[in-house]
Amino acid sequence: MNSPDNNRYTKDRPYGVNNKDELIMKPNQEVYTDYEPKKGEGIGKNNILKVKIKKLSEDSVLPKYAKSGDAGLDFTSTSKQIDGDIITYGTSIALEIPDGYVGLLFPRSSVYKQDLVLSNAVGVADSSYRGEIMFKYRKTKFNDGAEYEIGERIGQLIIIPIPQIEWIESNELSKSERGNQGYGSTGV
């Protein structure tokens, strides 16, 4: 990695901080380029998962937690494409989620102001995906034109460990208190 001009750059933080304490990078710069987690590994000290990130344009904004303790990292839109009732927001951000993890894309709670729903309910960014993180929303029948605009936070990402499943075929399953009771089994 190139030698940084800003004295706030460190090996653990190979990007800069502007006057607003927002993280900044150069386009196509990778963060944590010297970090290669092994399968099922990646959590470092203080429960921190290091994830490679790549800015795809000058307008990219690094995803960040709005508040301490938040589960989701907020993404900011850098592009907006409308096709009928579908609005696709680009973020100009690509990730390399470590093997053994998955990124789940959710709307932010502010979506209630927009009359939009994430078109696939929850987006899935697999560890093998290297493309731009995008959020596709569908306008509801109540939408009066309220939409997110470029530069606004449009969704959030939560990265969690995900096991690989090996099926064990069986003629019997263990008994449980709930058993085979489905929807509404716990009452209203």
Each residue of 148-187: pLDDT tens digit?
A: 899 999 999 999 999 999 999 999 999 988 888 787 777 7
In order, the DSSP letters of 78-139 are SEEEEETTEEEEEEEEEEEPPTTEEEEEE--GGGGGTTEEETTSSEEE-TT--SEEEEEEEE
Euclidean distance between the first and final Cα of the chain, in Å?
A: 58
pTM as predicted: 0.70
For residue 78, the cross-strand partners are none
How many residues are there in the chain?
188
Each residue of 12-70: pLDDT tens digit?
A: 444 444 444 444 444 554 444 344 555 545 555 567 899 999 999 999 999 999 998 89
